[in-house]
């Protein structure tokens, strides 16, 4: 350990971290190029060629020119994934939007009435749920 001082170990770890971070950023930019629906064939090809042939300059230019849109596309993708998950859960549970396929409004009202009679829900909750079912 005498021939490799602690400061050299620190610098090696720093360079390794920066190298990993660089590849993360590079793959993030490449995936954003393919994910963007507003950018079409030749635009995607041009950005991809720039990013692959001149990686440092290409990624820097991409982030300056299209960086704000990357965040918006990330948010849009997360919202779409969350909405898809909610629809799946509602369909699997047989409630909410998926209830139309499993039962009629009368069935839903009957279930709500039974819950109210048992005391599981209050009159106020019953009225809100009833309004939602009838809407």
pLDDT at 106 over 90: no
Does the pTM exceed 0.75?
no
Cβ neighbours for 112, distance < 8 A, ≥ 6 positions apart: 121, 126, 129, 130, 133
Tell me what pLDDT residue 119 has.
84
End-to-end CA distance of the chain: 74
What is the spatial distance between Cα 2 and Cα 38, in angstroms, rounded to a whole number? 57
- For the segment 5-40, what is each residue's pLDDT rounded down to a tens digit? 888 889 999 999 999 999 999 999 999 999 888 888
What is the spatial distance between Cα 17 and Cα 2, in angstroms, rounded to a whole number? 24
What is the spatial distance between Cα 34 and Cα 31, in angstroms, rounded to a whole number? 5
């Amino acid at each position: 350990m005498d021939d490799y001082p602690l400061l050299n170990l620190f610098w090696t770890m720093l360079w390794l971290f920066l190298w990993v971070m660089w590849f993360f950023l590079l793959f993030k930019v490449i995936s954003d190029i393919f994910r963007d629906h507003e950018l079409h064939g030749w635009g995607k090809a041009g950005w991809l060629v720039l990013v692959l042939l001149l990686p440092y300059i290409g990624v820097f230019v991409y982030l300056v020119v299209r960086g704000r849109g990357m965040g918006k596309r990330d948010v849009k993708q997360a919202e779409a994934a969350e909405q898809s998950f909610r629809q799946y859960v509602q369909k699997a549970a047989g409630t909410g939007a998926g209830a139309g396929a499993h039962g009629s409004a009368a069935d839903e009202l009957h279930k709500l009435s039974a819950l109210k009679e048992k005391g599981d829900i209050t009159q106020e909750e019953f009225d809100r749920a009833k309004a939602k079912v009838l809407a």
